[in-house]
Structure 1
Amino acid sequence: MIHDNRADAIAATLANEVARMRAGERLPGVRELSKRFQASAATVSDALARLASHGLVRTEPGRGTFASGPKRTSEPDYSWQSQTLGPARVDAERASRLGSYGSGEHLPLSWGYLSSDILPQEDLQRITSRAAKNPRSWSMTAPAGSPELRRVIAAQYRADPADVLVVSGGQQGLVFAMRTLAEPGATVITESPSYPGAILAAQSAGLSIASVPADADGIIVERLAGELERTKARIIYLQPSFANPTGAVLSASRRAAVIELAATHGAFIIEDDWARHLAFAQQPPPPLFGDDPHGHVVTVTTFSKPASPGLRLGAIIARGPAGERLRASRTADDLCVSPLTQEIGAALLTSQAWPRHLGRLRAALTERRNALLASLEASLPEATVATRPTGGLHLWAKLPTGTSTSQLTDAAYRAGLLVGDGRHFFVNEPPAPFVRLSFGAATPAQIAEGVRELGAALRGLTSTE
């Protein structure tokens, strides 16, 4: 959900004005309101939509927006819902941050996708046009996915195509895997800090969450062993390559130890391999899946990250009864991923355009990571970066002790800058103030501007204390 404070402010101002208008009186047009509020047309339209949702205005296409007049109905009473629903599983504040990218006026210095200028948009347009003419794009596929796409994905993991389940992006894959592999009330262990979407997926599945610290070499194995003994957890959630938010890569020795621990405790490892195609080197670290012949590793991968956020396409790869259960349970969610989306994905991944795109992407992300590191050194020397990422999209910065990250990120938002509050990457209280900064959604010039703004916001907070 997009949370736009600017649209909220405009809606509040217009609501006061509409309250003084007669029923049927016409409001100024979007262009006039955009000029008055110095906001984009999209932001003004969002504000008007909020007024319409509350019954304050009505929109007549081709004529304009009109005041509805005083309400004659009583305010709805939703209090019964809170009692009927019971306690919420999902952390609403964390969830609101996960999909929030502000308005088009915000500079995205924390965002989990690529900017349009480094996406293969022309290739996707050409491939989509061709795929739309294929009759297979408008026919049902098997619930597990189209045979061609499953073969393409399986080849990347040295897996059997029968072990591949196509899903609508990595986030759906995480939710589906956690819900299927464990019963509600069971425990999942995550590395700490970790991807907030994985925490939400576990909450949505009704799982308890325990966390184990990680460092530059990934999850600390000795601490993981102790937590497995304590909790009897049967799921371990890991990002072995370019973890979000730290950028850490699980070391070779820890990879072997983690798989051994999973075997000892009869546990599954959900391997979130979201950044496989975002490595700066031509060959990323091999997936854990290839080192595990006994089905302990269940891999979730996505193509929405390297190809396009709008291409909701990913896969779960699992062997044995777990894979069979995942594929059998699929029809409870939906019958299949859109066949058109699958045709586009298969065509893109087998085209000559794909390796060309990945080569350009490696160069662009390396440049932007370097720009972010240089900007922090120049404009935010108070921040400490422990890991220089070699892939992915994110950089994890520690701020001076006592910094309120919630106040800082709120101040940055008001200044038109999106920054990730480090609190949302921890299951429990953060051990220190952190922020997540991202380099995939902004140009080097925008990164420099954004870090200057963030430095000014941090020093503004310090000067008022």
Structure 2
Amino acid sequence: MNHDSSSNIAKRLQEWIAGATPGSRLPSTRSLVAEHRASPVTVQKALQALTAQGLIESRPGVGTFVRAVRTARLSDYGWQTAALRSPQTPPRSASAAMRSTTNDVIAFHSGYPDWELLPERLVRAALARAARSGAALSRPPAPGLPELQSWFAHELGASTPAGITPPAPGDVVVLPGSQSGLSSIFRALVGPGQPLLMESPTYWGAILAAAQAGVRVIPVPSGPDGPDPEELARAFEESGARMFYAQPNYANPTGAQWTARRGEQVQDIVRTNGAFLVEDDWAHDFGINTTPVPIAARDDSGHVVYLRSLTKSVSPAIRVAAVIARGPALERILADRAAESMYVSGLLQAAALDVVTQPAWQTHLRSLRHQLQSRRDLLAASLREYAPQAHIGHIPKGGLNLWARLPDGTDLELLGRDCESAGVIVAAGTEWFPAEPTGPFLRLNFAGPNPGAFREGARILGQALERNSR
């Protein structure tokens, strides 16, 4: 016996395959054993090597064949242009705040708090308990778990003054995050082509949800104390709008908090115009120097549609929020949610409820207040020292962000690239304006990872601003 090696057999077969047509049948294993005077095992190894190279293919019970060479054909999606027609709203790219980054950069751009600021132990334990409970296998009611509805209603009711009817659990619809709630509210209560008043600047996600719903956004300028009442009243009168979206407590991106007087003025204007105020209380758990009191706590006539989210304060992995509304507005929102997602995962609802009803949750919130304050003050001081060109006109009393006004003429795109090349990621303020920006701004997150790098990040930003101004 020749004992020819499998590599030699494979080489000879390659030569044979090169001259064969695709689909040609190779000699049988028995024939190859006899031809090359090799063992069946050696022949099989040669055939396996050729199969791995994509030269042959085996068809069980039939034989082994020369594999046809398939030329990759470029896909043609041109037909979709005609099928989809022109979009009602131009597609928008994902926000810079949603960008993922590596651990070796200084991340000032994110809209989420760092892991160190989350109740990690509570979340892990709650998920484990929820996984062992009936929530892991059952379908929850469409409006939400009754216990979680009661918790959201009680949270808002705790701020309700005497003489005002507090919300009932039945006024609550649990959501898979407040972003989906905004979409439902704008679709169900405003509608395509209808006007919607919106603070400017404001949350980029609300601008996106409004665009997708096809509503017509009308900006209302807003400062550190909230929107100007006269401008708001004029916007209602001129537009005929019946809804105003706002963030009275620790607005994203500015960190603004309305005074009690401003809240009363806005509420009066909304009532006078027979309209709704959509109160986005996304930062309810992020008070630093003040404790937020929702505008909705003083409303019992259905003018305020209230949104409260747990996504950022509990965990980004537990996307649970709620909308509280009354009357026909509640029914319309619930109908839209049923069509959109039917119900929210009972497992996530159970875990969220577990976290916020633990005694350690309040302890965590007290600790969080101090941690946010130290981070906020550290970043603000670092900017004053190393990047004074980034003017912080208002130190927020809560929330996660500083809103920095840059010198006129600053090229934000160039600044962003310059910072990134030096290891700092920033978010240009452009996308927080529903219309044209009123100037160059940056939104800087002080709740991000590695606060020890804040000073270095501010130094890099200051140097980039110096180069940008030349």
Indicate the TM-score class for this superposition, using the shorter chain for normalisation.
Answer: 0.7 to 0.9
Would you say 1:399 and 2:406 are equivalent positions?
Answer: yes
Partners in 2 of 1:298 and 1:134 — Cα distance?
33
Q: Which of residues 363, 381, 388 in structure 1 aligns to 2:395? A: 388
Which residue pairs with 1:450 in the alignment? 457
Specify the code of the residue in structure 1 equivalent to 2:326: R
Q: Residue 278 of structure 1 aligns to a residue in which SS?
A: coil
Q: CA deviation at 1:89?
A: 4.7
Contact between 2:419 and 2:425, CA under 8 Å: does it hold in 1? yes
Identity %: 38
Superposed CA RMSD: 1.8
- Which runs of no fewer than 5 residues in structure 1 stay unpaired? 1-57, 59-69
Q: CA deviation at 1:96?
A: 4.2
- Which runs of no fewer than 5 residues in structure 2 stay unpaired? 1-53, 55-68, 158-166
Q: Which of residues 333, 338, 343 in structure 1 aligns to 2:340? A: 333
Partners in 2 of 1:268 and 1:88 — Cα distance?
29
Partners in 2 of 1:418 and 1:411 — Cα distance?
10
Contact between 2:174 and 2:321, CA under 8 Å: does it hold in 1? yes
Q: How many pairs align?
A: 394
Q: Which of residues 307, 311, 317 in structure 2 aligns to 1:310? A: 317
Partners in 1 of 2:135 and 2:280 — Cα distance?
30
Which residue pairs with 1:167 in the alignment? 175
Contact between 1:188 and 1:233, CA under 8 Å: does it hold in 2? yes
Would you say 1:222 and 2:230 are equivalent positions?
Answer: yes
Contact between 2:427 and 2:444, CA under 8 Å: does it hold in 1? yes
Q: CA deviation at 1:71?
A: 8.2
Contact between 1:101 and 1:418, CA under 8 Å: does it hold in 2? no
Q: 1:200 to 1:98 in 2, by over 3 A?
A: farther
Q: CA deviation at 1:460?
A: 2.4
Specify the code of the residue in structure 2 equivalent to 1:135: G
Q: CA deviation at 1:424?
A: 0.9
Q: CA deviation at 1:149?
A: 0.6
Which residue pairs with 1:357 in the alignment? 364
Q: 1:187 to 1:133 in 2, by over 3 A?
A: same
Q: Which of residues 252, 258, 261 in structure 2 aligns to 1:250? A: 258
Q: 1:233 to 1:116 in 2, by over 3 A?
A: same
Specify the code of the residue in structure 1 equivalent to 2:125: R
Specify the code of the residue in structure 2 equivalent to 1:193: P
Which residue pairs with 2:13 in the alignment? none
Which residue pairs with 1:324 in the alignment? 331
Which residue pairs with 2:429 in the alignment? 422
Q: Residue 95 of structure 1 aligns to a residue in which SS?
A: coil
Which residue pairs with 1:54 in the alignment? none
Contact between 1:115 and 1:442, CA under 8 Å: does it hold in 2? yes
Which residue pairs with 1:20 in the alignment? none
Deviations 1:347-388 (A, max 9, x none): 111101210110111011000000111010111011211111
Partners in 1 of 2:379 and 2:70 — Cα distance?
52
Which residue pairs with 1:204 in the alignment? 212
| Higher alpha-carbon deviation: 259-268 or 294-303 | 259-268
Q: CA deviation at 1:292?
A: 1.4
Would you say 1:177 and 2:185 are equivalent positions?
Answer: yes
Q: Residue 418 of structure 2 aligns to a residue in which SS?
A: helix
Q: 1:123 to 1:397 in 2, by over 3 A?
A: same
Would you say 1:195 and 2:194 are equivalent positions?
Answer: no
Q: CA deviation at 1:227?
A: 0.9
Computing the radius of gyration over CA atoms, which structure comes out larger, 1 or 2? 2
Deviations 1:287-343 (A, max 9, x none): 111111110110111101111111111011101111122123321012211111011
Specify the code of the residue in structure 1 equivalent to 2:200: S
Q: CA deviation at 1:415?
A: 2.8
TM-score, normalised relative to structure 1: 0.81
Partners in 2 of 1:81 and 1:416 — Cα distance?
40
Contact between 1:101 and 1:108, CA under 8 Å: does it hold in 2? no
Contact between 2:98 and 2:111, CA under 8 Å: does it hold in 1? no
Deviations 1:94-143 (A, max 9, x none): 53434223344432202111101121112211121112111133211110
Q: 1:97 to 1:81 in 2, by over 3 A?
A: farther
Contact between 1:91 and 1:200, CA under 8 Å: does it hold in 2? no
Which residue pairs with 2:442 in the alignment? 435
Which residue pairs with 1:95 in the alignment? 94
Which residue pairs with 1:370 in the alignment? 377
Partners in 1 of 2:389 and 2:88 — Cα distance?
37
Which residue pairs with 2:281 in the alignment? 273
Which residue pairs with 1:412 in the alignment? 419
Q: 1:338 to 1:433 in 2, by over 3 A?
A: same
TM-score, normalised relative to structure 2: 0.80
Match runs of 1:130-141 below 5 Å: 130-141=129-140
Specify the code of the residue in structure 2 equivalent to 1:145: G
Q: CA deviation at 1:462?
A: 2.7
Specify the code of the residue in structure 1 equivalent to 2:351: I
Deviations 1:405-425 (A, max 9, x none): 122123223333221111111
Partners in 2 of 1:94 and 1:408 — Cα distance?
20
Match runs of 1:138-149 below 5 Å: 138-149=137-148
Q: CA deviation at 1:202?
A: 0.3
Specify the code of the residue in structure 1 equivalent to 2:260: A
Q: CA deviation at 1:457?
A: 1.8
Partners in 2 of 1:122 and 1:93 — Cα distance?
37
| Higher alpha-carbon deviation: 252-261 or 144-153 | 252-261
Q: Residue 322 of structure 2 aligns to a residue in which SS?
A: strand
Match runs of 1:145-160 below 5 Å: 145-158=144-157, 159-160=167-168
Partners in 1 of 2:90 and 2:308 — Cα distance?
24
Partners in 2 of 1:415 and 1:181 — Cα distance?
46
